[in-house]
Structure 1
Amino acid sequence: MAFVLFLILVAVALGIIGAVAKGLFYLLIIGVVVFLASLVLTGMRWGRRSRHHLLR
């Protein structure tokens, strides 16, 4: 869980730097990709937990 929160923090920081700094739009794109990756990772973990819960 801490890793996902760290990824979200990095994504927000990259997004802010990419939006504010001139010529660093690629950082905004990287921030969005990292944020989406963290959401996918969270969804995969959450899906695994619910399956284990149903098997009991």
Structure 2
Amino acid sequence: MVPVILVLLLALILFGAGFALKALWWLAVAVLVVWLLGFLFRTTSAGGGRTRWYRW
């Protein structure tokens, strides 16, 4: 009975890790798209220089 529980626990952990990694990949793609859009939609300041689209 213990080996069956261990195998089911291992399958549950691997399934959770796989789901988390896939979700992190989608999050990374979304951040990359926002970052690239920020470069495309930069505004120019009154002084003629370019400003950053973020504030950090």
TM tier, shorter chain? 0.5 to 0.7
Larger Rg: 2
- Say whether residues 1:46 and 2:24 are aligned partners: no
- More helix per residue: 1 or 2? 1
Structure 1's consecutive aligned runs of 4 or more residues displaced over 3 angstroms after TM superposition are: none
1:32 aligns with 2:13: yes
Q: RMSD in angstroms over aligned alpha carbons? A: 0.9
TM-score by length of 2: 0.58
Q: Can you give the 5+ residue segments of structure 1 that lack an aligned partner in the other structure?
A: 1-21
SS of the residue aligned with 2:16? helix
The percent of aligned pairs where both chains have the same amino acid is: 9
